[in-house]
A and B are shown apart, each in its own frame.
Chain A
Amino acid sequence: MDFSFSEEQTLLRNSVSKFLAANYDFETFKKISRTEPGWSRQNWKQFAELGLLAAPLPEAYGGLGGGPVDTMIIMEEFGRALVVEPFAQTVVVGGNFLVHGGSEAQKEEWLAKIAAGETVIAFAFAEPQGRFNYADLTTTAKKQGSSYVLSGQKAVVLGAPWADQLIVTARTAGGQRDAKGVSVFLVDKKSKGVATRDYQTVDGLRASEITFENVDVPAANLIGQADQGLALIEQATDAAIAAHAAEAVGAMKVLLDTTVEYSKTRKQFGVPIGKFQVLQHRMVDMFMNAEQSSSITYMVTLKLGEDETERKKAASAAKVQIGKAGRFVGQNAVQIHGGMGMTDELNVGHYFKRLTMLDTLYGNVDHHLKRYAALSD
């Protein structure tokens, strides 16, 4: 039983945090987020140069041979800085689909491109009616000769405005919510028939609504086996859940630190407000929420390689913990900062908004409590 980080992992964390300290302070986050296109390709290049995009990917395909722990380290630092660039979508989700479901040709082409920072991938899975059910799909892909014809609509595709490739889930057989009959495709965003409506998100990111109208997708772009994509989707999204759990932990830690600091300097009634026991206990509860979230992030990260049931339970557990803790830490950071916590100017509100949306992403607390309970029967 060993929870310590290796020397390489410590070096990785230091290089990421050093880069972000120099290039991604809070004012920079606001600037990047608020000016078109809402992200920095320059940063993406730097991430590639630092080896971050290659870190968790297999050496055989251009990666550095690390794994989920490297992702966890990177994403926690990214969470601390409110980083918008789509590491989770491209490296974690994209990488995961390719590693576990990709053909040799796909792996050779795309994993190398991801590692080198030459492609940005967005994951188009949610639909207006589907809520958190990956299998609830009205987007269809009909086999026609050596292609599939893709038609449908995807909702809130995070990072899509920045992407050149989309990983799209679609129904190739069965009824709207059947577990069987789901397939996954790699689609060039510039394909004829792909239309996007880009917009800003409440937590400083960008997303798109995407419609597919008879989009021709070569059969070679099918990831994994036709009709059997649901297991791949669950695996990739569980890995994404672990990554975003780390992101949330980073955000919670910043909120805790800034709140404690504020309470030591903000004086009312002649004393720093941190002297009031009510607030002390509140901050202790914030601390415990952050620590428990850190622990569960370790758990889900280390369990990504386990059997399907163990992995899913761990991912749902993490999602529940992060959702509840993120809400508590976020709300109370705002509360203890008083009026200042309500401002756009201060960083507190921005972390609170990011944590709020991380609760929704890939299913909220209720959804995952249900999934966890069903897996425990």
Chain B
Amino acid sequence: MDLTFSPEEEAFRKEVRNFIAANLPAEVKGKARRDMTSKADFLLWHRILYKQGWVAPLWPKEYGGTGWNVTQRYIFNEECAKAETPQVLPFGIAMCGPVIYTYGNEEQKKKYLPRILSGEDWWCQGYSEPGAGSDLAGLKTRAVREGDHYIVNGQKTWTTLAQYADWIFCLVRTDPGVKSQEGITFLLIDMKTPGITVKPIIVLDGAHEVNEVFFDNVKVPVENRIGEENKGWTYAKFLLVHERSGIAGVARSKKAIERLRQVARAETVDGQPLVETDEFSRKIAELEIDLSALEYTELRTLSQEAKGKHAGPESSILKIKGTEIQQRITELTVEAIGYYGYPYDRSFGDNEYPVGPDYAVGQSGHYFNMRKASIYGGSNEIQRNIIAKAVLGL
């Protein structure tokens, strides 16, 4: 058992840290904390990483990946989190891209992968439907083969940032007559295709992050199908495991707890910093301890992965605990800011200064917004079912 990083790994860490310090534009740093990252902000950082060759650490080198091992990828994510960089949008880089290079044909790889890497194509994920949330296999969006096209009709929902997207990867039903998982096909669809409508869904903190996407007789070339017809569920499952693996968010949460401490240092209770009061210091301690345990759970998972054993159902622990900790941080932040949790910052104009302290801006909204974390990516109830079944054999 060994907790230390090697000298080479420490040198790598230094290299990453220096790169970020030299290249992260001041205007995008820390914006994610306030749910304020714009399309331009995402792409700005994406392109900086792309130029460096670092935008897709998970990809094999032959497709433009970095060739880093598991530990290096971990170090890279840690340093990005510490520096509060915007997160690279996962839909192209972490989800659809790996599906394409794993299950796609040569033409598809040539056509889509470079543009995912460069950020030229913004991707969104067409999975959930009004009737297919936790029961994703119950999806109904229909694709009917007509000559060398599929005609797609239906509706996707909770489609993150579809309003910016150039492409959508979609699970569609090509055979309604079989067991639900066995009639699903994985299609890549150009968002500019006639018949596609995007409707915003405003969430409870006022943000526009998700959408409904309607398909009305949308013609999709057969070449846009990944792998075989009716085998889409296999590719979807591969992707779902990928979706979960980055999800512990340990380094980001460490940074967030640091920020919480700063808030609690600035807030005072009868002259005493909130962070020094018994009640609050204990709460932060408990949270940090929970996070430490998660950190080592993740490291154990990673060391297994480094030996070639892929993370399976254990990644559900990372998702459950990771999101619960993220949510707890937002809860404590709301407790910390007291009355200045009241002002609705989204209603302020660009030129208006905040009502209360800077550190309170948007924090109630962030707490409300983060309730999604225990719902998305497979709800925490579903994740517990997975562990019960696949790990405990219940």
Among B135, B341, B376, which residue has its beta carbon within 8 angstroms of that of A202? B341
Can you list, as one digit per residue, whether each of B330-366 has a CB less than 8 Å from chain A (1) or not (0)? 0100110011111110011000000110000000110
Taking CB atoms, residues of chain B closer than 8 Å to A278 are 381, 384
Contacting residues of chain A (319-376) with chain B, CB-CB under 8 angstroms: 327, 331, 334-335, 338-339, 341-345, 349-350, 352-353, 356-357, 360, 364-366, 369-370
Given the known interface contacts A268-B133, A339-B158, A349-B368, the answer about A344 and B343 at a Cβ–Cβ threshold of 8 Å is no
Question: By the criterion CB–CB under 8 Å, are A202 and B342 in contact?
Answer: yes
Establish whether residues A156 and B340, one from each chain, have CB atoms under 8 Å apart when the complex forms. Answer: yes
CB atoms of B270 and A339 under 8 A apart: no
Chain A contacts for B138, CB-based, 8 A: 268-269
| Distance between Cα atoms of A129 and B267 in the complex (Å) | 8
Closest to A136 in B: B270
A197 pairs with B355, CB closer than 8 A: yes
Q: Which residue on chain B has the smallest CB distance to residue A158?
A: B342
Whether B279 contacts A126 by the Cβ 8 Å rule is no
Find residues 238-279 in chain B having any chain A CB closer than 8 Å to their own CB. 267-271, 279
CB neighbours (8 Å) of B338 from chain A are: 131-132, 360, 364
> Are B133 and A202 in contact, CB atoms less than 8 angstroms apart?
no
- With the chains together, A331 CA to B368 CA distance in Å? 9
Confirm or deny: B31 has a beta carbon within 8 angstroms of a beta carbon on chain A.
no
State the B residues within 8 Å of A (CB). Answer: 128, 131-135, 138, 157-158, 201-206, 210, 267-271, 279-280, 331, 334-335, 338-344, 347-348, 355-356, 364-365, 367-368, 371-372, 374-376, 379, 381, 384
Complex CA–CA separation, A327 to B356 (angstroms): 24
**Which residues of A are found within 8 Å of B157, using beta-carbon distances?**
339
**What are 22 sample pairs from A and B whose C-beta atoms fall under 8 A apart?**
A126-B339, A131-B270, A132-B269, A132-B338, A155-B339, A177-B270, A199-B344, A199-B347, A200-B347, A201-B344, A202-B368, A203-B342, A207-B342, A207-B343, A269-B135, A331-B371, A338-B375, A339-B133, A342-B375, A345-B202, A365-B335, A370-B279
Considering the chains assembled together, what is the distance between the CA atoms of A365 and B283 in angstroms? 13
* Bound CA span A357–B384, Å: 31
Residue of A nearest to B371 (CB): A334
Residue from A177, A199, A343 within 8 A of B348 (CB atoms): A199
Smallest CB-CB separation from B271: which chain A residue? A177
Given A343-B203, A353-B368, A356-B334, decide whether A268 and B135 contact each other with a Cβ distance below 8 A.
yes
Determine the residue in chain A with the shortest Cβ distance to B381: A278
Bound-complex Cα distance A339 to B267 (A): 34
B344: chain A residues at CB < 8 Å are 199-202
Instruction: List 12 extra interface pairs beyond A131-B267, A199-B343, CB under 8 A.
Output: A131-B338, A133-B270, A155-B356, A269-B135, A335-B374, A339-B133, A345-B202, A349-B204, A352-B368, A360-B334, A366-B335, A369-B279
A279 on the B face (CB < 8 A): yes
B335-A279 in contact (CB<8A):
no
Q: Assess the B134–A338 pair: CB atoms within 8 A.
A: yes
Give complex CA distance A338, B338 in Å: 28
Across-interface contacts of A200 in B (CB, < 8 A): 343-344, 347
Minimum distance in angstroms from B241 CB to a CB of chain A: 20
**A209: interface (CB < 8 Å):** yes
Q: Does A360 contact B202, Cβ atoms closer than 8 Å?
A: no
- The distance in angstroms between the C-alpha atoms of A238 and B251, with both chains bound, is 43
Please, how many angstroms separate the alpha-carbon atoms of A372 and B9 in the complex?
53
Shortest distance in angstroms between B341's beta carbon and chain A's nearest beta carbon? 6
- Taking a contact as CB atoms under 8 Å apart, the answer to whether B375 and A339 are in contact is yes
A268-B279 Cα distance, complex, nearest whole Å: 41
Query: Which residue of A129, A342, A353 has the most chain B CB atoms within 10 A of its CB atom?
Result: A342
Chain B residues, CB < 8 A from A343: 201-204
- B365: chain A residues at CB < 8 Å are 202
Contacts of A276 in B (CB 8 A): 381
Given A338-B375, A364-B335, verify A279-B381 contact (CB < 8 Å). yes
Shortest CB-to-CB span from B301 to chain A, Å, is 25
Q: Which 4 A-B pairs have the closest CB atoms?
A: A349-B204, A268-B135, A156-B339, A344-B202
Q: A201-B342, A207-B342, A335-B374 are in contact. Are A344 and B335 (CB under 8 A)?
A: no
Q: Most chain-B Cβ atoms within 10 A of its Cβ — which of A129, A202, A356, A369?
A: A202
B330 to chain A, nearest CB (A): 11
Assembled-state Cα–Cα distance A129/B271 (Å)? 9
**A345 vs B331: C-alpha distance when bound (angstroms):** 23
Residue of B nearest to A339 (CB): B158
Residues of A at under 8 Å CB distance from B? 126, 128-129, 131-133, 136, 155-156, 158, 177, 197, 199-203, 207, 209, 267-269, 273, 276, 278-279, 327, 331, 334-335, 338-339, 341-345, 349-350, 352-353, 356-357, 360, 364-366, 369-370
Q: For B384, give the chain A residue with the smallest CB separation.
A: A278
For A128, give the chain B residue with the smallest CB separation.
B356
What separation, in Å, do the CA atoms of A269 and B181 have in the docked complex? 12
A335 CA to B343 CA, complexed, in Å: 25
Residues of B within 8 A of A155 (CB): 339-340, 356
A26 CA / B80 CA spacing, docked (Å): 43
Instruction: For A126, list chain B residues within 8 Å (CB).
Output: 339
Say how far A180's CB is from chain B's closest CB, in angstroms: 16
Q: Which residue of A lies closest to B279 (CB)?
A: A366
In the complex, which residues of chain A have a beta carbon less than 8 angstroms from the beta carbon of B379? 335, 338
| Nearest chain B CB to A82 CB, angstrom units | 13
Q: Which A residues touch B135, using CB under 8 A?
A: 268-269
Closest to A126 in B: B339
Cβ B367 vs Cβ A339 within 8 A: no
- Residues in chain B near residue A156, CB distance under 8 A: 339-340, 342-343, 355-356
What distance in Å separates the Cβ of A309 from its nearest Cβ neighbour in chain B? 21
Complex Cα gap A187–B191 (Å): 59
Bound Cα distance A360, B335 (Å): 8
- Do the beta carbons of B343 and A201 come within 8 Å of each other? yes
Which residue in chain B gives the minimum CB-CB distance to A350? B204
Could you tell me the distance in whole angstroms from the C-beta of B34 to the nearest C-beta in chain A? 14
* Contact with A335, one of B158, B355, B371 (Cβ below 8 angstroms): B371
B343 touching A202, Cβ below 8 Å: yes
Compute how far the CA of A136 lies from the CA of B270 in the bound complex, rounded to whole angstroms.
Answer: 7
Query: Which residues from chain A contact B210 at a C-beta distance below 8 Å?
Result: 339
Question: Bound complex: CA of A350 vs CA of B131, how far in Å?
Answer: 23
Does the CB pair B368–A357 fall under 8 Å? no
Pairwise interchain contact A360-B371, C-beta atoms closer than 8 A: no
Task: Tell me the smallest distance from the CB of B164 to a CB of chain A, in Å.
Answer: 19
Instruction: Please determine whether B280 and A366 come into contact, CB atoms closer than 8 angstroms.
Output: yes
Using Cβ atoms and an 8 Å threshold, which residues of chain A touch B133? 268, 338-339
B46, chain A: closest CB distance, angstroms? 26
B contact residues around A202 at 8 Å (CB): 205, 341-344, 364-365, 368
Contact yes or no, A344 B203, CB < 8 A: yes
A349 to B365, CA, bound (A): 12
Closest-CB distance, B339 to chain A (whole angstroms): 4
How many angstroms from the CA of A341 to the CA of B202 in the assembled complex? Answer: 11
